[in-house]
Structure 1
Amino acid sequence: MEAKQRVMQAGIVQPEWSWRKEGPFDGRLHQWIKGMYDWQGENPDLVILGLPLSRSSISVSGASEYAEAFRRGWKGFSTYNIDEDIDLSFLTILDTGNVKMHGTDIGESHRRIEHAAHTIFSEFQHAVFAGIGGDHSVTACTVRGLKKLHPDETIGILQLDTHLDLRDPTENGPSNGTPMRQLIEGGIVQGSHIYTIGLHGYFNAPDLVAYGKKHGVNMISLKKARQNGIVQTVRAALNELSQKTDRTYITIDMDVLDIGFAPGVPASTPGGMSTQELFEALLEIGSHPSLKYIDFVCLDPTKDPAASPTVKAGIYSFLQVVSGMALVRSRKGE
């Protein structure tokens, strides 16, 4: 059975929005990124999977709409990164589509995400995975799918986030506030293998911090990361995870950004990262040898102002990771 058929049978459907590719390649994303419909079986360097779920959010969120907004915004971006003087178009990126969500059943939607992620991990074992959420509940699902494929291996998590996401699932359900605790209590990930960078201010309750300490979660405040250098802090966390675990999963909750930079993120707060700080961290992540799995979550385009600054920041964030990948491969002469 061909990969296309297996992907379709895993409950992954084509996006509602897709670009018609007419004429020669003009250096823009919408003509570069391949969809399943025009994929000819090349080995992709990175695969995209849309995870359009936000019914599981604690607060009202339209993050389920981001995967489509992400694709619609491609036309406004070039494959050339002038800051790094590199054209990304030599890489092959495949957009596999979206996981089909159940209309009302959150648990069923989570099971579908886990199954679809497991299928993508299985089919494209040599490609980097990029999940486009959706709220942060989807991360627990994709990590479970990864663990299912590699049951005897340890998984570490680097999380850029304002929040610990360690709320109690028995009270909050499998929501966007509980993914890290779900993974700890489900025996999928050890607390000491979670590094959360970006915590700041008044947005994490004492009992959650106490739970994190009890389970050895590495809680790195934004203040401390700035003092040590955000890029250096991210690099150190990835290096430690590479030594401690077999695989590293990276999750970017866009509420790590200051609310002034991310008005389209429901839980963004004052005092968070600037876009420049996040972009520099993501370039480091993209160039790190442990990069294999990453997701971007909790961006709600329905809350974005007319100029779509947050959606654009989300696309830019994704491209920073791809730029890191491209820089490494160009240096190796690949």
Structure 2
Amino acid sequence: MTPLPYLQKANSSFIDRDVTKMGDLIKEWSGEKIRGVGLIGAPLSKSSISHSGACFAPGTIRKALSGYSTYSIEDTIDLAKWIIQDLGDVSMHVTNIEESQNRVYETILQLFKEHPSWLPIVLGGDNSITYPSIKGYQEAKGEVGVIQFDAHHDVRNLEDGGPSNGTPFRSLLESKTINGANLVQVGIRDFSNSKPYHDYVNNHGVTVYTMKDVRHTSMKELMETSLKKLEKSVDSIYVSVDMDVIDQAQAPGCPAIGPGGMDTVDLFEAISYLGEHPMVGGLEIVEVDPTVDFRDMTSRVAAHVILNFLKGKQRGGLTFD
């Protein structure tokens, strides 16, 4: 048969021999020992208190991540030697929200039992997956500190609507999975929370940095203070990023968009700084709704959160190759 050198697979992307894309590093997991980063999807959004297509986000975030290069020109760091295994998505129950959340918990915990040194990056889904994700992480890692980027406290009462995307930190605190003194909330936004819930987190000793704090204090200083506080009392630190912490102009694909939010550059700086710390052992990204996004802008921001997290890890001396 005559070779056809210009024929390629349908819809294949342009290939440049001098560019390594993140997609080149991401390999489908076949059940072997997880030696590096494990991407895992938690496509749950039926628990959202507002309309949400966040169940589609793991796919769009993966697609966005795969298209970026591995090279950070700002730090002259190349992520090209990282091992990133895509573990797939947790299968959700069709109708039972609590069963779906339990599946997330059991999956995270079992993965840590069998692969204690893997670095999880959890792709939500709505914010309700935070409770089971951190619960599984905590049972594997011991005392956990959490740095939460969010416009909301997410401590709604459990009586009015059950375990929703507005209740994960209420569940974590009430179940004593985490201690309020070991929770830091960053980016809490004006006119997006109620006084009873502000009182609730204050009464539980939660550290709260509002958007006013973010505007008036450098992100590096906020993160440095947070890490110094947590590292004295916990065994590991988990980072939770609700994408609605970002201003609506830069992250339109969130169910709860609003003005006055964080700039993406500030978020990237914070995540990179946190990634550098050896006690930071997990990252999750939630509340991306591709059905209301524009040109996957919000999924692209989420992809850069992951890139900056890995850049920080490499800057801190951690690589998997």
1:42 and 1:186 mapped to 2: Cα distance?
32
AA aligned opposite 1:190:
N
1:315 counterpart = 2:303: yes
AA aligned opposite 1:69:
T
SS in 1 for 2:87: strand
Structure with a larger share of its residues in helix: 1
1:321 and 1:117 mapped to 2: Cα distance?
20
SS in 2 for 1:316: helix
For 1:177, the equivalent position in structure 2 comes to 166
Q: Which deviates more from structure 2 when the two are superposed, residues 290-299 or residues 230-239?
A: 230-239
In structure 2, relative to structure 1, the CA distance for the partners of 1:288 and 1:263 (3 Å cut) is same
How far off is 1:26 after superposition? 4.9
Preserved contact between residue 91 and residue 326 of structure 1 (Cα < 8 Å): no
Q: CA RMSD in A?
A: 2.2
Preserved contact between residue 25 and residue 31 of structure 1 (Cα < 8 Å): no
AA aligned opposite 1:56:
S
For 1:120, the equivalent position in structure 2 comes to 111
TM normalised by structure 1 equals: 0.87
1:24 and 1:122 mapped to 2: Cα distance?
39
SS in 1 for 2:231: helix
Preserved contact between residue 81 and residue 320 of structure 2 (Cα < 8 Å): no
AA aligned opposite 1:76:
G
For 1:93, the equivalent position in structure 2 comes to 84
How far off is 1:76 after superposition? 2.2
TM normalised by structure 2 equals: 0.90
For 2:7, the equivalent position in structure 1 comes to none
1:34 and 1:24 mapped to 2: Cα distance?
19
**1:84 maps to which of 75, 81, 101:** 75
2:54 and 2:320 mapped to 1: Cα distance?
38
Matching of residues 51-200 of structure 1 within 5 Å = 51-150=42-141, 153-200=142-189
Preserved contact between residue 56 and residue 135 of structure 1 (Cα < 8 Å): yes
AA aligned opposite 1:327:
R
1:74 and 1:244 mapped to 2: Cα distance?
34
1:288 and 1:137 mapped to 2: Cα distance?
26
Preserved contact between residue 275 and residue 309 of structure 2 (Cα < 8 Å): yes
2:286 and 2:229 mapped to 1: Cα distance?
24
State how many pairs are aligned: 309
**1:50 maps to which of 41, 52, 70:** 41
2:18 and 2:49 mapped to 1: Cα distance?
42
Preserved contact between residue 43 and residue 92 of structure 1 (Cα < 8 Å): no
How far off is 1:263 after superposition? 0.3
1:328 and 1:67 mapped to 2: Cα distance?
27
For 1:8, the equivalent position in structure 2 comes to none
Preserved contact between residue 128 and residue 291 of structure 1 (Cα < 8 Å): no
How far off is 1:45 after superposition? 2.4
Matching of residues 215-226 of structure 1 within 5 Å = 215-226=204-215
SS in 2 for 1:224: helix
1:44 and 1:93 mapped to 2: Cα distance?
9
**1:237 maps to which of 214, 226, 230:** 226
1:247 and 1:228 mapped to 2: Cα distance?
25
AA aligned opposite 2:28:
G
In structure 2, relative to structure 1, the CA distance for the partners of 1:43 and 1:99 (3 Å cut) is closer
**2:201 maps to which of 212, 236, 241:** 212
Give the unaligned 5+ runs of structure 1.
Answer: 1-18
How far off is 1:282 after superposition? 1.1
**2:25 maps to which of 16, 21, 32:** 32
How far off is 1:325 after superposition? 0.9
In structure 2, relative to structure 1, the CA distance for the partners of 1:206 and 1:73 (3 Å cut) is same
For 1:255, the equivalent position in structure 2 comes to 244
Give the unaligned 5+ runs of structure 2.
Answer: 1-11
AA aligned opposite 2:298:
T
How far off is 1:268 after superposition? 2.1
In structure 2, relative to structure 1, the CA distance for the partners of 1:179 and 1:23 (3 Å cut) is same
How far off is 1:219 after superposition? 1.1
AA aligned opposite 2:279:
S
AA aligned opposite 2:162:
G
2:240 and 2:61 mapped to 1: Cα distance?
17
SS in 2 for 1:195: strand
Preserved contact between residue 65 and residue 304 of structure 2 (Cα < 8 Å): no
How far off is 1:200 after superposition? 2.2
